Structure 1
Amino acid sequence: MLRAQINTADSLKYFSQGLPDKVMVDCLTRIREDIGKGMNVHEAFRRTGKFNETVIGLIQAGSDAGQLHEAFRALAGRLTSEMKFQKAIKKATVMPGAIIGVLVGAFIISQVKIVPQVEEMLSGVGQEPDGLTAISFKVSHFTQATWHVFILSVIGLGITLWKSEKVRGVILGIAMSKWRLFRMLIMSLRQMTFISTIRLLHSNGINLAKSIRVSANSVMGTPFYAELREAADKYENSGVPLSTAFAKYTSADSQVVHMLSIGEKSASLDAQLDMLSEMYEEDAENYMAAFAATISFLVLLIAVGLIGAVFIGTFLPIFLMGPKMMQSGI
């Protein structure tokens, strides 16, 4: 609709008509009313509290460049990629995760209910546990003493992750520092976001410094936000080349710096930004596929390990108790 020269307020009005999601309809109605009162499009979206800074940053970029339809097109592509990634992760984790939960419950029940009965039967015939049987009983004693703490800890961790953005950020940082594939995935997504935003703005006549500052809003909440704004200030006020500003003041990949340098020297910056955007989009898709496959494999390993733990923890003491019972009968 925007591409067909229908204004933003009317586009939102027509789009919201017939939507089954009443919450979204109310949200779009508020946005349309705020736009009608003269508020900037991105500020109207931010005021609802329903959209993250990446969405708002891209909308601001499109509005500033006079290419709002391109911003929404870019958002549609990004959201489609995120939905594919989320679908792949759910497919790899939801069912195995449910199985793991059941297996953890089965293990706890076996250690709390079944193994103590085996221990009591062995004690009733006057036999002392030894070897693997003694180890199995010790594991049971430990589980009986700590399973409450374990369950409460898991529940507490889940609530904390759900409520605290700061904790999620800390865990994300640790995961990125320890797991190269995860770090490459997150970095690709972030760099794809701000590079595509810079490309959108610069190709529509917005100067580079402002393009970089606005693109920083699309990655707000990440280290790139402060880095990009500092790079924009240095490029605008100190006269350093754009590639040098990125090399010194951001943690962007060396490939980004190299291609920006080529763009500056050959006056083909728009073309280099296009190639960078496409390259990181492809990289992000590849990393998403690899990450989903790795998660699926890890979850499978955990499930197999728990199955083994349930079997060994429950049935091994029973098997080992047979000879002891026979000895007591003799």
Structure 2
Amino acid sequence: MKYFSVTVMEKGQSRQEILKAANKLSAVKLAKQKFPRALVTKAVETSAPLEDTFSAVFTSLKRSLKSKIPINDKISTIRQIAVMTDAGIAINDTLEEIAENTHNERLKEIYTKINSDINAGHSLSDAMEPYTNEFGHVALAMTKLGERTGNISESYHKLADILENIRNNTAKFKKAIRTPIITLVAMAIAFTILIVVVVPKFKDIFSRFKTELPIPTQILLKLEWLFSNYGLYVLLGILLFVFLLKFFYANNEEFKYKVDTLLIHPKFYLINKAIFLSTMHKYNLVFGELVRSGIPVSEALETAVGMVDNLAIKEQLLTVNANIGRGMNLAEAFALTGLYENMLLQMIKAGEAGGQLDAMLDKVTLYYDMQFQDLIDNLSAYIEPIMLFFIAGLVLLMALGIFMPMWDLGKAVKNG
């Protein structure tokens, strides 16, 4: 939603009203509805009022601070619903039992509210819809499928399987990058300690030199001055930068889009490939499962793209449904995104023609999964050269910064 400064003329007097709307046309329409006796003369996009800005920031902070539901807790409760409904227990009794026994307070609150809505006459999918952000688009789609087929149990077993697959890949990736990150952070801390503790001992010696100090030594001295005088501010600045980065990434769609586009750029070694493969695996996994379950292709595409976090990739995948609506087949629509290899497009095309689309989507999903697993399994080998280069750079800077002036001093003494 955007803000517009709308100029209205009423009783011979002109005034401006700030309205919130999706576009300029909607803003003019809203102004006519709100001020039926006034003439709308102009509408210009403007920045949000100060109070709305503060309100949005406060709401975003409140949402950020609210504890996120662990995926293990979600999978556990979804699996319980599947088992209990399969045993013939009514859905309202099932939800009541789960709400009482779950240890997660947020889930307890959600399931209690869903159960209350069901008892009030709402369907399970309608009761779950307000919590799409918590459970994801695929949960809502599988719930609707369960209602349509009359088999909530089977739908929720499949939903739990999908979420477990996504969880396992995410956990494996985090585990693979944990060691390199810890190593780099430890090296950065060790280097900072050396700068603060070791360099000052040589500072007095270097100050006696009447010649210009080598560049590595100047860098060390400037870093020592910075850390000694403003170390706390530097640390706070880094923490503030990280917080703001995360805050704007989570709450500003334009900023998130730019970052997402940057992250999948070929220059971002490994990161671009990891994001692309994990995203495409998740998308095709959800899409394939939904098609196999009997959900129409257009609806399955819409749900699957809702699972995509990277906005740059999402933008390309959003064109698929629109192009199918124009008469293209699925393979042609996928080809226009530029995200699928020709081999995969041929498989999808064959699956469409032979009525085995779900089977071919399984193979596409397996291909992306194999590529992603191979990347994760060999991640340490890929990252090792980068780590060695980083560590060697720090050690070389420290060594040259301290010993180069010593060599110059030794030469001066020898020549004297």
Instruction: Please state which band the TM-score falls in when normalised by the shorter chain.
Output: 0.7 to 0.9
2:146 counterpart of 1:58 = no
CA contact (8 A) 1:61 1:214 kept: yes
Contact 2:195 2:220 in 1 (8 A): no
Once superposed, what is the RMSD of the aligned Cα atoms? 3.4
Correspondence 1:129 to 2:211? yes
* Cα separation, partners in 2 of 1:30 and 1:230, compared to 1, 3 Å: same
Task: Give the Å deviation of 1:79.
Answer: 0.5
**Partner residue, 1:189:** 278
Q: Secondary structure at the match of 1:129?
A: coil
Secondary structure of the corresponding residue to residue 218 of structure 1 = coil
Specify the alignment match of 2:206 in structure 1.
119
Displaced runs of 4 or more, over 4 A: 6-37, 39-43, 108-111, 144-153, 166-169
Change in CA separation of 1:168 and 1:225 when aligned onto 2, cut-off 3 Å: closer
Tell me the equivalent position of 2:128: 44
* CA–CA separation in structure 1 for the residues paired with 2:279 and 2:378: 18
| Deviation of 1:143 (Å) | 3.0
Assess, with a 3 A threshold, how the Cα gap between structure 1 residues 269 and 137 changes in structure 2: closer, same or farther.
closer
Cα separation, 2, equivalents of 1:7 and 1:312: 74
Alignment check: 8 A CA contact 1:115 1:140 kept: no
Q: Does 1:209 align with 2:298?
A: yes
More moved, 240-249 vs 71-80: 240-249
Q: Which amino acid aligns with 2:304?
A: S
In the alignment, which residue of structure 1 is the partner of 2:364?
276
Q: How does 1:1-330 map to 2 (within 5 A)?
A: 1=80, 2-3=82-83, 5=86, 6=89, 11=94, 14=97, 20-22=103-105, 24-34=107-117, 36-37=119-120, 38=122, 40-41=124-125, 44=128, 47=131, 51=134, 55-66=135-146, 67-107=155-195, 109-111=197-199, 113-120=200-207, 123=208, 128-129=210-211, 133-143=213-223, 148=230, 154-165=238-249, 166=252, 167=255, 169-177=257-265, 178-179=267-268, 181-219=270-308, 222-236=311-325, 238-249=326-337, 251-318=339-406, 320-322=408-410, 324=412, 326=413
Report the CA distance between 1:186 and its aligned residue: 1.6
Distance change (3 Å), C-alpha of 1:294 and 1:232 = same
Q: Tell me how far 1:175 sits from its aligned partner.
A: 3.2
Deviation at 1:151? 5.1
Change (3 A) 1:312 1:215: same
Deviation larger for 305-314 or 270-279: 305-314
TM-score (norm 1): 0.78
Structure 1: give runs of 5+ residues left out of the alignment: none
What secondary structure does 1:200 align onto?
helix
- Higher helix proportion, which one? 1
Answer 1 or 2: which has greater strand percent.
2
**Structure with the larger RCO, 1 or 2 (CA within 8 Å, 6+ apart):** 1
Task: Give the share of equivalent positions with the same residue, in percent.
Answer: 17
| Count of aligned pairs | 315
Distance in 2 between residues matched to 1:256 and 1:36, nearest whole Å: 47
Greater alpha carbon shift after TM alignment, 300-309 vs 1-10:
1-10
Taking the aligned partners of 1:109 and 1:287, their CA distance within structure 2 comes to 40
Name which of structure 1's ranges 15-24 and 272-281 shifts more when overlaid on structure 2: 15-24
